Amino acid sequence: MNESGDVVALHARSVAHFLRLVEGAADADWSAATPCPPWDVRELVNHVVGEDRWTAPLLDGRTIEQVGDQFDGDLLGDAPLDSAHDAGRSAMAAFAEPAVLARTVHLSFGDTPASEYAWQLAADHLIHAWDLAAATGGDRRLDPDVVDGVAAWFADREELYRGAGAIGPRPDVEATSAQDRLLVAFGRDPGWTAADRGARPAAEASAPASAEDVVSRFGAAWEAWDIEAVMALMADDAVFESTGPAPDGTRVEGAAAIRELWTEMFEGTVEPRFTFEESFVCGDRAAARWEFSWAGGHVRGADVIRVRDGKVTEKLSYVKG
């Protein structure tokens, strides 16, 4: 199976597989650790349900701004299995519409063919299905056809994803099967186990990424010009101060408002190139120097950043006058 394969069918198979594993989760599993920190099982399932909820409106041609924040926060409620099934069925139905792969999807980083969007979602469901199985003691075997298809698609995209901070580094483990090689490419250790499949130990649950790691990933996300990777590192109550207008710039509060502002910039910039030149981190504060260029110009500047609980809470930007 390669990229010319039926990605719609592979997407449906990956969604159905994920839902079967959700069905097998016991009550005690929902707070269990996963191979995708810092998420526990409930947070991981909520993430995938969010992807499924976004699918239909994006395939219908709606923009990120038009959808807004309706799929933010907890989407599982008191009936997580029902919520997952409803979202999964709606996503599969959206891709089953006639000539769906000929459409264009308005993603945060730009207009994207629906076929590429389908591969992204198939990969997300596939890898998170393995995460879910590993966390709950389920069957870790993945659909070999979906594995082969996603592997062929991902081969030329792995470093871009890693540079944007969307996946972790390759673990230094031996991978002999196609499934294990794909897991390693997505930053997973195929031999991952959880010592306790019940609630996460408090120390593990409360240990966010270091400020150095957050700032490094933040810079990589900007260099990849990937607003989803950028916003994944922003706290819900984050504050951004822009460089203009002079003399004080504009202050924007809250991740939703920041996303709206930055989406306009991401979509409206011609030939963007962001270079994260260097950073210095001390405690929860950081200073980062960067250069941003576009068709016809460039600017050099710096950010004063504050990090809390593994997220950026302040990004105060300054430029050379």
The CATH number assigned to the domain holding 49 equals 1.20.120.450
Q: How buried is 47 (Cβ within 10 angstroms: 0-12 exposed, 13-18 middle, 19+ buried)?
A: middle
192 and 154 assigned to the same domain: yes
Strand 110-113, strand 104-107: pairing: antiparallel
pLDDT at 209: 66
Please count the CA atoms within 13 angstroms of the CA of 116 that sit on its side-chain side.
Answer: 11
pLDDT at 202: 42
Give the three-class secondary structure for 136. helix
Residue 1 maps to a domain: no
The answer to whether residues 68 and 22 touch, using CB atoms and an 8 Å cutoff, is no
74 and 216 assigned to the same domain: no
44 and 167 assigned to the same domain: yes
Q: Domain ends where: 203, 223, 241?
A: 203
Handedness of CA 103, 106, 111, 114 (dihedral sign): negative
257 and 224 assigned to the same domain: yes
149 and 15 assigned to the same domain: yes
143 and 175 assigned to the same domain: yes
Handedness of CA 131, 132, 137, 143 (dihedral sign): negative
227 and 299 assigned to the same domain: yes
**Alpha carbon separation from 306 to 9, 18, 240 (Å, rounded):** 44, 37, 11
Q: Which domain holds residue 24?
A: 7-203
Report the C-alpha gap between 40 and 265 in whole angstroms.
33
pLDDT in tens, the chain (321 residues): 334 349 999 999 999 999 999 999 998 899 999 998 888 999 999 999 999 999 999 999 999 899 988 898 999 999 999 999 999 999 999 999 999 999 999 987 789 999 999 999 999 999 999 999 999 989 999 999 999 999 999 999 999 888 888 888 999 988 989 999 999 999 999 998 875 344 444 444 444 567 888 888 888 889 888 888 889 889 999 999 999 998 889 999 999 999 999 999 999 999 999 998 889 989 899 999 999 999 989 999 999 999 998 899 999 999 997
231 and 113 assigned to the same domain: no
Measured between its terminal Cα atoms, the distance across the chain in Å is 54
- Number of domains comprising the chain: 2
Q: Domain ends where: 137, 168, 203?
A: 203
Report the C-alpha gap between 41 and 35 in whole angstroms.
10
Report the C-alpha gap between 57 and 154 in whole angstroms.
25
Q: Domain ends where: 168, 203, 238?
A: 203
Handedness of CA 54, 55, 58, 60 (dihedral sign): negative
